[in-house]
Amino acid sequence: MPLLVTGTVGIDTVITPTGRADDVLGGSAAYFTLAASLFSPVRVVAAVGDDFPPSFRAMLTSDRIDLRGLETREGSRTFRWAGKYLENMNQRETLRTDLNVVAEAPPAIPDAFRDSRVVFLANTHPAIQWNMREQLPAARLVVCDTMDLWIHTTRDELMKTLAVVDGVIINDSEALQLTGQSNPITAGREVLRLGPRFVVVKKGEHGAVLVTPEGVTVVPAYPSERVVDPTGAGDSFAGGMIGYLAAKDSFHYAALRSALARATVVASFTIEDFSVRRLRDVTCEELDRRVAEFTRMLAIG
Ligand code: AMP
């Protein structure tokens, strides 16, 4: 199942209580891509500026990642984001967001990507997400993410996007801001009424809830003892989930539940180091071992 992702590929500066990383590879599509590629080949559609370091492109290069849709736009600047985590690492403050190339025309979808069957519209301007979905009529599963910035500044465009997707993966505060509901399950059900047939509400270190008309599934987070930088956990979660579904070629409730466990495990690797450092180095053996450990932990009889 060819899997395509569109979102931001950018340059982040991250400050945590224990350290900082300046001008490192980040962006929703960057994390998603590396995570999803653990399960399935991934096609990337995103734009960066001519200031995007070649070494960052190299970090995304692998035989499972097709970068023909990663456009370098001459005269434009790359998306930049800076954030700071509070003492408990659960809350973060955005210090700055420079949309730069993301505020320009959407990246072009290469003709060779038009047959993509699974599409993830990672966090970016909802008008770009909608535009991408319209251009990919062969897609059988389209899932999106969003964030508070877009909920507050581009709500109407976001509603239009939600009406044309099959699934949504968002975090609890976003689900609450989007629906006005204070309970993640009720908020998930409200989101279902906007169009999608499944919603995953992520709750950080408290796990995630899958809400569908067939049922509700809750998973805890993987019990990580070493959290260095939570940035990208959500995008890696989405990458693990959608990459697994694309590999299985099944989007039924049972597959969604299995995907939830993979998503949780992939996110647990991301947070062990800054940027994509840990995620990039995860081996199949490490992944399989942690998935087995996590699913054993869930089977409590
Ligand atoms: P996560 O921690 O999973 O929410 O993702 C963090 C990543 O999202 C960072 O690498 C940022 O570069 C990227 N990001 C931050 N703000 C935005 C935004 N408004 N739109 C798209 N991507 C963003």
Contact 148, 126 (CB under 8 A): no
User: Which is the closest atom of ligand 1 to the Cα of 97?
Assistant: 16
Q: Which tens digits make up the pLDDT trace of 250-279?
A: 999 999 999 999 999 999 999 999 999 999
Q: What is the pLDDT of residue 1?
A: 81
Q: Is the CB of 83 under 6 A from ligand 1?
A: no
Average pLDDT over residues 100-105: 94
Categorize the per-residue pLDDT at 204 as very low, low, confident or very high, splitting at 50, 70 and 90.
confident
Model confidence at 73: pLDDT above 90: yes
Q: Which tens digits make up the pLDDT trace of 144-164?
A: 999 999 999 999 999 999 999
Write the residue with the smallest CA distance to atom 12 of ligand 1: 27
Q: What is the pLDDT of residue 177?
A: 95
The preferred substitution site among 6, 28, 158 for testing ligand 1, maximizing ligand atoms within 8 Å of CB, is 28
Average pLDDT over residues 128-141: 95
Write the residue with the smallest CA distance to atom 14 of ligand 1: 27
Average pLDDT over residues 234-244: 98
